[in-house]
Amino acid sequence: MLWIVCVFCTFSVLSVGADLKPRSCSEVRQAYTAKGFSLVNVPHQEISGEHLRICAQGYTCCTSEMEDKLSQQSKLEFENLVEEASHSLRTTFVSRHKKFDEFFRELLENTKKSLNDMFVRTYGHLYMQNSEVFQDLFAELKRYYTGGNVNLEEMLNDFWARLLERMFQLVNTQYHFTEDYLECISKYTDQLKPFGDVPRKLKVQVTRAFIAARTFVQGLTVGREVANRVSKVSPTPGCIRALMKMLYCPHCRGMPALKPCNNYCRNVMKGCLANQADLDPEWNLFIDAMLLVAERLEGPFNIEAVMEPIDVKISEAIMNMQENSMQVSSKVFQGCGQPKPAPPGRSTRAVSDVFNHRFKPSEERPTTAAGTSLDRLVVDIKEKLKKSKKFWSTLPDSICSDVKVTGDRSDEEECWNGHTKGRYLPEVMNNGLTNQINNPDVEVDITRPDTFIRQQIMALRVMTNKLRNAYNGNDVNFQDASDEGSGSGSGSGCTEMCIPEFEVISTKAPTVVVDRFAETKASAPKPSHSLVLTVFLLCTIFALQRPLR
pLDDT digits 0-9 by tens, 227-257 = 999 999 999 999 999 999 999 999 999 999 9
Distance CA 416, CA 239 (A): 18
pLDDT tens-digit series, residues 441-452:
999 999 999 999
Distance CA 15, CA 12 (A): 5
Report which secondary-structure segment, H or E, holds 186: helix 179-187
- Mean pLDDT over residues 336-354, rounded? 69
What band does 488 get if pLDDT is binned at 50, 70 and 90? very low
Beta bridge partners of 416: 260, 421
Residues 149, 116: contact at Cβ < 8 Å? no
Handedness of CA 319, 514, 188, 310 (dihedral sign): negative
Looking at residue 276, its pLDDT comes to: 96
Distance CA 259, CA 326 (A): 88
Q: Is 120 a residue whose pLDDT tops 70?
A: yes
pLDDT tens-digit series, residues 92-119:
999 999 999 999 999 999 999 999 999 9
Looking at residue 478, its pLDDT comes to: 52
What band does 352 get if pLDDT is binned at 50, 70 and 90? very low
Amino acid at 472: N
Distance CA 69, CA 75 (A): 10
Residues 437, 123: contact at Cβ < 8 Å? no
Beta-carbon neighbour count of residue 58 at 10 Å? 12
Q: Which residues are within 8 A (CB) of 466 and not within 5 positions of it... i.e. 6 or more apart? A: 215, 218, 219, 476
Dihedral (Cα; 212, 213, 214, 217), 10-degree rounding: 110
Distance CA 47, CA 494 (A): 75
The better pLDDT of the pair 21, 275 is held by: 275
Average pLDDT score, the chain: 83
Beta-carbon neighbour count of residue 171 at 10 Å? 20
Amino acid at 208: R
pTM of the model as a whole: 0.79
What phi and psi, each to the nearest 5 degrees, are found at residue 59?
-60, 140
